[in-house]
Structure 1
Amino acid sequence: MEAEEFEISILGPVSTASPSENNQSTVNHMGAVAKKPRSRGHCCLKYVRVLFLLLFLAGLCSAGGYFIWFWKKRHPVVEGEVNNYEEVDYYDVVPSGSDPTVPSDDCPWNAERLPSDLLPYGYKITLKLNLRRKQFFGSVDIRMRCMEATEYVVLHARQINSSGAKVELSDLTTSENIEILEPTEYNEKQEVFVIQLLQKLTPGRIYKVSILGYGGRVRPEAPGMYKRTFRNGVKRRTSSQLLVSSLKPMGARYVFPCMDDPAMKATFDVTIEHPKGQTALSNMPSKTKTVLTDGWVREEFYRTPKMSTHLLGFALFDGLTSLEAVISRGRVVRVWAPFDPEENPSVEVALNTTIDAIHNIEQLVPVEYQLTKTDVIPVPGLSVPSSDYCGLLMIRETALFCDGQESSMSQQLKCELAISKAVAHNWFGNSVTVEWWDDLWLTEALSTMLAYESVAYQRPDVNICDLQWDEMIQPAMAADIFSRVDLSSYGHAAAIGEDPAVGGKGIGLLRMLDTIISDKEFLKAIENVLARFSHDNMNRSQFWDAVSEATGFRIDVAAFMEPWVTQLGYPYVSIGRYQERDESRNQYFVQLPFYYSGFVSFMRHLQTITWEIPVTWKSEGQTDTRLLTMTEDKYIIPDETSPEEWVLGNSDSRGFYRVNYDNKNWALLADYLQYNHTLLEPSVRAVLIDDAFNNVRGSILLIPTAMEMTRYLDKEENYVPWRAALDALHYVKTVVHGSCPSSSQCPYHCRLQEYIARKAARVLKRHTFYETSPEKRLLVAVTFKAACQNGNRNVTKRAKIMFDRWKRKRVRIPPDIRESVIHVGISAGDENVWWHVWKQSNASAISAQDRQIFLCGLAASQQEWVLWRYLRYIFEEKGITVQEASLIFKCVTQTKVGRETAWKFVQGNWEKLTSKYADVPSLLKAIIQSTLTGLSTDQHFQQLEHFSSSVQEKYLRDLLDDAVHATRLNQRYIDRNMPYLQDWLKVPCATRVDTRETNP
């Protein structure tokens, strides 16, 4: 009897078992399904099928073997050495030997922080870096103390390729190798991978985990390791490039597997291998250099002090040279530049500013600057003005190099503040480190305050309180309105220093703390903190305790400060007076949460929140400042003032809250500014103006009351109130202009411009373009810009003359007004003028600051097709960097034609934008925020709603949803205030003089 053939499933092997007598299907012992026999005519077909299946399986095995051979060839691993340098694809870390698995919910590493079973005390890191590659390779040894028995080693890692790495664990106490259980587990949400062991580690022993031959990705932006190019002309004739790390916060895990927790401090032994001719820097001085057989250089650096992972820093570059100086105790300070330091005085200015900052802060605090070397490197397009990594200061290129002769006063102050803040991080940030990211804002605020004090020490002719309010507090209050999280939650954001709602609010709260304690007590608290937590960790509770101790426990600082840190937003205090039936008069103080009415629904819960507010106030007849600490939502006190006297809240301008008054009190304050404004501090005048216009946006006031606060501006001789007024009026102009069908149908926008221009021109008439006082130079800059932007004929005529002389004969434009002159020249010029400035912006010898001025000036064109072509340059090889793209959008959207063009461009090129900048989410965010500011029509609202529904990325969709709410808010603002604004603008028209009368 011939054998019968059976058709089988591919789930099991071929079976020769006979079918049952009833010819029903049976199941063999391997799970294959055997079916009833087919006829002999199917035999050939069945043999072909089996043969084909065998050939297919053989092919798969061959392909798999070839893939494994090819992968190992491209990724060889040599113990103790890093991988050969090859291009590979990178993804989130997957431990070698397994596919990623999902840990169970009860795993210890699912918590927000790493388990404390193992604590690191030393890292040995080797990185193989090359400026010409998009990847880097590394090896790391981590020495750890076992605190509690555990069978897991949990490390942070993100976008690290460990599939070809060798992972080892050894007991340094017994020199025994610990066997590792595979597969290891990976938790994408917590950004950790877990090394599982066959046995538990013993408490008290010291262990070493080695990860040899992992790969990492050079990212297009922070965090992690990212690359920048120093431009030198449109064709980039220079080879100056920079590979730099950004590890604060939570960025170290992009560069090497580690315990990326600020409380887990350790020492670091760093070795960098790089091609010959490239320069490597790290936190510590170079120890040894060895030339390898392949021409590369292995450079070892001295061991760092004990510090957190996010304070480690790396830099690799070529084409940069340095200027150095040796200060007291042999400490070396070096400033690196992409040009010859001997030929450019800005490098020497930066070097001297760094040395001055070190000396100034040493005079302010009792702890000396401990670092033996300090390298200062410029970083093109750095998102924050400065970052410090314990001996390696990274400063934004435009904030590092300032020339006392060619830089504006505003730019000089920004440079000094950026350098001083980087230096101040040596005390708060490096020496005193926070225990967890939630408190990172505190060391940022403390180091920034030290930086401002350093600048004040160096420039006694600058009012540091005014400067701080203008640069930090006012932007923070404006940004905090739109915040979705409280201050302590910002610590998890990689760009903490970039967001004004973080750095500025922290400083604002510490300034407000000064209203209930003395400067002497606060300084004593700072000294105690530096002495107690030097080279250690601190949380904000410990800082509050230190401040309370400095006051002799007179004040419970934690109870006062915690609501401000852990709650959303901030309050406003309404101050008013009323008369009882018995003719006694009382004064009331009521606190309420401040927010822009109707902006975001999640702010409604603020109605239930109260703060402890230290309200400083005074009256016209009693000028001594009094303090009322509000712990309840309402206070009533006897009124000791005359009904015809004003009452002023936040009278020291240090409160992080807004103030509102009844209409009569606002009128009294407006009249007082008109006739006696110099009797109030400049920052107090600025706060009054800022509060008034923001109260209008919060539907607390109507706009005529706020406009009355600006009537005195033609007498104002300080730039801070002018800045506050112009920022507030810019919003009014933007929404008014945006609601107009065209410029010709927007007469009240023109009247508003005339009003502002006339006030600014009258101030300019009393000054020259070559003032020497810093505050006068700042005043001239801000009023000249206001007069030009708002169309004062005489001032714009002078600007055109200066632009023409510069264009034809290269006549120098005064630095403080250079930006405004370029803006006027482009706005009034034709296409030939535009091309001339474009060529100048790409000149090889142009400074980074002038390049920025020219790029922003090119956005002033009033021709839509020119702006469209300019925006399109970001997709073309026109020498525009990724960082400059966001600058161009920001500058284009400063005019109505620019806003409309940018909005159309974003809608029409969304796929190209998201494709080109997929790896740079911060740029897309900046573009969205710039483009969608000031939209205020129903058409805009409908376009935004439709566009938002088509966007997939959640963080961008959130921005668009906010823009939808902001557009509706702008519409409500117009509907509520436009009739009153029109009526108010008619009043000064009768007495308005021709703008041609002015002659600056």
Structure 2
Amino acid sequence: MGCLYIFLIVTLLSIGSVLSWREHRIRRSIDLSVTNPLDTKLPSDLVPTNYTLLLEVNAEDLSFHGNVNITMTCAKRTNQINLHAHHDLQVDEVNLEVFQHTQSGKSMPVKIRRIDRVPKKPLLVIYLQDDLSVGSLYEVRLLFKGEIWENTEGLFQGKYKQTSGDQLQDLSYFATYFRPNHARRVFPCFDEPAYKVPFKVTIIRPKQYHTLFNTELESTELYTNDKVADHFKITPPISTFTLGFVVSQLEELPVSGDNAPNQVPLRIWSRRDTQENLKDVRAKITLVMNHLTNFWNASYPLEKLDIIALPNFGSVKPADNWGLILFKENELQQGYYAITQELVYQWLGSWITPNWWSDAHVNKAIAGFLSASTAIELDGGVEFDGKWPMTILYSIYYEFSKRYPHSRITAMKQETTCSKTELVLRMLNFTLGEDTFRRGMQNMIKHREFKTFVTDDVWESLTKQSHLDNRLCESATINEVAESWIEKDRIPVVKVIRHYGKQTATVTQRVYLRERPHDVPEQDKMLWWIPLVVARQDKLDFSNTSATKWMKKVKEVTLENLPNANHFIIVNPEEIGPFPVNYDEHNWNLLADYLLTQDGRSKIPTYTRAKLLHDAWNLAYAGDLSFATAFNMTLFMQYERNHLVWNPVFTLIDHIGRHIDMSAAHKKFEIYVRTLLTPLYEELVQDQQEEGDNWKSNLRSLAKSFLCKAGYKPCIEEAQRVYKNWMESAEPDMGNPVANQYICPVFKWGTQEEWEFGLQRVVNFPEMRMKSERTYLLKTLAGCPIQASKINRLLNITLLENNGNFTDNDISLIFKMLSGGSNGYMALFKFLQQNWNAIKLRFKDQEGMWDNLVNSATGSFTTQEGYDMVSQLYVQRQGEFGTAEHIIEKSLKNIKEETKWSDENLPVIEKWLDRFLNQHKLGSEKFIG
């Protein structure tokens, strides 16, 4: 009677989730192009309604076995049952049984024709003698067994040490990691997120261990002399990937005082030795839980929450099982972000679940946005140090402005799409208003308890709330807005041309392309919904983030009632939307002049100052803005001390420096860099403290590194003093006492003798030392020198003398490093030109190495001089390039394109630098070169 009662209750609980599942399976969702390509989707003819799972952990032989009974509803006429089952999972096909449950409560056996394991797919297919009846209940009963692995997929073992008196104990634990589709490694199942059904679970474990599961322990009984069976409360409807358990000897963190009334029981588990480090975690989690409860306007949806600091947990991400979250030990000791992200999933991810993996990425984006905003609110931004969202924003700008985003790497595409979705959510939070955004998200999860959602559900809820609050015109939908951003692997650039006499501006949008040539197919057809938030100098107010006007997938709109010609405007302040903005020259100059005043720098917020600088330089690099204007926008940096504004500067210096490396303007550019960075660096050194802010030490390190590259004399002298100690040591091959930051300056600006000493350390590198130290030395030996003599010496040894101390991997690394700067690739090109026959003979049986060499020697030139050199070699050696023929032809094509850039921009850059150098009296005694 008791079993039948449980069966009926479980079936009733499941009806809602089955209907929800069927409803959502036919609904359209924005295709994020990020579905799991390795997953095999099951047919929809059978829908699970509950599981009864028993699993026994065998600690001695690292195996498990058990049985699972799956009750299903027949939704479509079929004569087969398809289940996920991993290749490594052994299923007892002889004793497999299928039953039909009648309305009277009887169970009738169903005849099985055959059972197949599908090759190369994680599928178990049970073929039946007769068709199943639509609407009827069926149950499949399976026995299975498998091995426990050390890698964190499915059921795995972890090991750790713990002090016991004066002794160190060797202990183990057994835990599950089922996300995204690893439940099939442990038991046959419908391993898809949309199938949300209750589980009745029993875990059999060794007596000295205890078990933590998604739900509370209901009872424990003796199973054998040395094992017990833990029976757990039936779960609510859940997806297989949120199921989880841990069998361990970890200890619960002591609780000081009772839980507050109505508070969910919260337990924290760890090894005994780390409990002192985790004493603040409970308060932190409670604070986050309260914050999320208020955001969702919904209480935590389970009866308890167990948080485990898992020793030596090898997973990249925590295991966010519902009601049971597994963290690495150090993750719980950090800030709020990681904790918040996993707690968000307890509501959105477990309670309300994405229907399929394409929808899981919007789930991740919401979690990322909400976790960052929560962490910033709770600790005032200390954890992020102000870098969110700029870090992901700048990476998005660079990636989506390439000719070929992601380099066709699927995993990178998934991450960038998710990051862009997170930025779209941030944009909507600004433009719709926090209250509207929050109420829309609350409505999205309302009435979806234990059900699934698709991406469109998020946008529809935000649309309805926006219309109710009059934050969006009735004819517009958030679906349209979001889709315009998410469906494209691109972002727009907005150009604002002001008409000062009319006090209006023409605003246009197009694809943002940074790499040349700008030959992306169908770029003219790409349009976005873009919110135009405007800040104006005569009424500076950065708190109003409402859009003055939306560009509704149109190429052009007009902004009206703008200030007069004496006042600037800023479109998209604080990076509200993920897009750069260009202006007419006069507006840029107004901004540059304003930032040179102390009042201006104090009134324009940090993110906006960083944006203006970042946009100007990248637009100039892309060919959309004069470099004279971009350089003008950097002049205020001599007074700027905020690290967030400085962060993009170093990337920009590196990009432009590499591009003009071969030109006469490069030395002038280095003087400009030294002039810009020296006051900042010397001030940071003077203000240096033993326990200063992290951002100060990072900024000081970056400034020093770039100054050293640019020939800042005190830096070079300091590096040579430290390096000299190594040269004079009795056993220089036993260890490197020189910090990495000093090595490149010595190899670049130092003597041939100093460089030769480094070369000998690579040649004589002892086997017992870490290979990464040798790799770093080799990279700097090749990549740092500006003297051809050093590079030729390295190439002679590795290519002509065929020194046995250098492998093919070493030589490939040398080629790569030499291609990074004009001194390197120029020397490599001339070396190839002068030693053609010997090198061809050297690589006659190594086509890959030969191709690599030709690409590195010819592919990085950017000027007409470089084009002429490579073209001359191509003509001279016509027909001798072999497999590298197409490589040099591609190099010539690329150089031609880069030459256009150089012809257009180098004269402008050099003219600006000449004027800058004439206006500044520089202390040359501090510089080399």
Could you tell me the TM-score, scaled by structure 1's length? Answer: 0.65
Of 531, 537, 541, 2:456 maps to 541
Shift of 1:633: 0.6
Would the aligned equivalents of 2:505 and 2:559 in 1 still touch at CA under 8 Å? yes
**What secondary structure, in the 3-state scheme, does the structure 2 residue paired with 1:140 have?**
strand
Equivalent residues in 2 for 1:211-610, closer than 5 Å: 211-215=142-146, 218=149, 220=151, 224=154, 239=170, 245-273=176-204, 281-287=212-218, 295=226, 299-315=230-246, 323-325=253-255, 327-328=259-260, 329=263, 331-337=265-271, 340-342=273-275, 345=277, 347-371=278-302, 372-378=304-310, 384=316, 386-396=318-328, 398-402=330-334, 415-460=335-380, 466-481=386-401, 500-553=415-468, 554=470, 555=472, 556-578=477-499, 586-598=504-516, 603-610=520-527
Equivalent residues in 2 for 1:111-122, closer than 5 Å: 113-122=41-50
Which residue matches 2:35? none
Of 640, 644, 648, 1:716 maps to 640
User: Residues 14-73 of structure 1: CA distance to partner in whole angstroms, max 9, x if unpaired?
Assistant: xxxxxxxxxxxxxxxxxxxxxxxxxxxxxxxxxxxxxxxxxxxxxxxxxxxxxxxxxxxx
User: Residues 902-930 of structure 1: CA distance to partner in whole angstroms, max 9, x if unpaired?
Assistant: x999x95779x9xxxxxxxxxxxxx9xx9
User: Residues 717-755 of structure 1: CA distance to partner in whole angstroms, max 9, x if unpaired?
Assistant: 433222232344344456667x79xxx998568546534
Of 901, 910, 918, 1:976 maps to 901
Equivalent residues in 2 for 1:934-949, closer than 5 Å: 946=851
Q: Which moved more, 1:125-134 or 1:527-536?
A: 125-134
Letter of the 1:171 counterpart: Q
User: Residues 575-608 of structure 1: CA distance to partner in whole angstroms, max 9, x if unpaired?
Assistant: 11358xxx7565211100113334797x423331
Shift of 1:358: 1.8
Which residue matches 2:165? none
Which residue matches 1:198? 129
Letter of the 1:525 counterpart: G
Change over 3 Å in CA distance of 1:997–1:455 after alignment to 2: farther
CA distance in 1, matches of 2:217, 2:338: 26
Change over 3 Å in CA distance of 1:229–1:673 after alignment to 2: farther
Shift of 1:386: 4.1
Shift of 1:510: 0.9
Shift of 1:314: 4.2
Which residue matches 2:604? 680
Which residue matches 1:15? none
Letter of the 1:353 counterpart: K
CA distance in 2, matches of 1:309, 1:870: 52
Shift of 1:433: 1.4
Which residue matches 1:658? 580
CA distance in 1, matches of 2:74, 2:728: 71
Runs of at least 5 residues in structure 1 that lack an aligned partner in the other structure: 1-109, 403-414, 805-823, 841-853, 914-926, 951-960
Change over 3 Å in CA distance of 1:551–1:340 after alignment to 2: same
Which residue matches 1:182? 114
User: Residues 867-895 of structure 1: CA distance to partner in whole angstroms, max 9, x if unpaired?
Assistant: 9999999x999899xxxx9x999999899
CA distance in 2, matches of 1:597, 1:981: 19
CA distance in 2, matches of 1:784, 1:725: 14
Which residue matches 1:44? none
Shift of 1:517: 1.6
Change over 3 Å in CA distance of 1:196–1:242 after alignment to 2: same
Shift of 1:111: 12
Change over 3 Å in CA distance of 1:680–1:831 after alignment to 2: farther
**What secondary structure, in the 3-state scheme, does the structure 2 residue paired with 1:564 have?**
helix
**What secondary structure, in the 3-state scheme, does the structure 2 residue paired with 1:514 have?**
helix
CA distance in 2, matches of 1:613, 1:213: 54
Letter of the 1:596 counterpart: R
**What secondary structure, in the 3-state scheme, does the structure 1 residue paired with 2:432 have?**
coil
Would the aligned equivalents of 1:599 and 1:966 in 2 still touch at CA under 8 Å? no
User: Residues 457-514 of structure 1: CA distance to partner in whole angstroms, max 9, x if unpaired?
Assistant: 322375989543234433344344469799xx99xx7x79x96414421221012113
Change over 3 Å in CA distance of 1:947–1:667 after alignment to 2: same
Is structure 2 residue 42 aligned with structure 1 residue 124?
no
Letter of the 1:323 counterpart: L
User: Residues 532-554 of structure 1: CA distance to partner in whole angstroms, max 9, x if unpaired?
Assistant: 22332122222222112212355
Letter of the 2:270 counterpart: W
Which residue matches 2:674? 754
Would the aligned equivalents of 1:935 and 1:970 in 2 still touch at CA under 8 Å? no
Change over 3 Å in CA distance of 1:694–1:967 after alignment to 2: farther
Which residue matches 2:74? 146
Shift of 1:421: 1.2
CA distance in 2, matches of 1:309, 1:593: 41
Would the aligned equivalents of 1:321 and 1:340 in 2 still touch at CA under 8 Å? no
Shift of 1:932: 12
CA distance in 1, matches of 2:891, 2:316: 26
CA distance in 2, matches of 1:391, 1:462: 28
Letter of the 2:587 counterpart: N
Would the aligned equivalents of 1:683 and 1:721 in 2 still touch at CA under 8 Å? yes
Which residue matches 1:643? 565
Equivalent residues in 2 for 1:74-113, closer than 5 Å: 113=41
Change over 3 Å in CA distance of 1:126–1:514 after alignment to 2: same
Which residue matches 2:617? 693
Aligned residues: 784
Change over 3 Å in CA distance of 1:154–1:123 after alignment to 2: same
CA distance in 1, matches of 2:47, 2:763: 51
Would the aligned equivalents of 1:682 and 1:718 in 2 still touch at CA under 8 Å? yes
Change over 3 Å in CA distance of 1:763–1:855 after alignment to 2: closer
Would the aligned equivalents of 1:156 and 1:259 in 2 still touch at CA under 8 Å? yes
Which residue matches 1:168? 97
Would the aligned equivalents of 1:714 and 1:763 in 2 still touch at CA under 8 Å? no
Letter of the 2:703 counterpart: A
Would the aligned equivalents of 1:271 and 1:298 in 2 still touch at CA under 8 Å? yes
Would the aligned equivalents of 1:335 and 1:351 in 2 still touch at CA under 8 Å? no
Is structure 2 residue 522 aligned with structure 1 residue 616?
no
CA distance in 2, matches of 1:133, 1:351: 36
Q: Which moved more, 1:476-485 or 1:534-543?
A: 476-485
